[in-house]
Amino acid sequence: MYVCLCKNITCSDIREAAAREGLCSLRDLKDRLGVASQCGKCARCARGVLEETLRETGRARGAASGALAAA
């Protein structure tokens, strides 16, 4: 499913980037993939996909949600 239409980024792109490159915040996604760097409408969905990925991979640890909130 496409998450960011402006940058053509899918859920899989976010999951792969989080796993492969250790991305753990919306800011990381923005810097590496360009997610939420234009209209910003995808930010909430992208954050959700990232949080889910971090939980599944055991990397959430509370700090991630703080980092996501700050991004």
The residue ranges that bind ligand FES (CB under 6 A) are: 4-7, 35-42
Q: Are 53 and 15 in contact (CB under 8 A)?
A: yes
Q: Based on CB atoms, which residue is closest to ligand FES, 27 or 59?
A: 27
d(CA 33, CA 43) in angstroms, rounded, equals 12
Query: Which residues face 4 on adjacent strands?
Result: 9
34 or 59: CB nearest ligand FES: 34
- In the bound complex, what is the minimum distance in angstroms from residue 20's beta carbon to ligand FES? 21
Q: Which is nearer to ligand FES, 38 or 57 (CB)?
A: 38
To ligand FES, the closest distance from the beta carbon of 31 in angstroms equals 13
Choose among 10, 1, 3: nearest CA to 45.
3
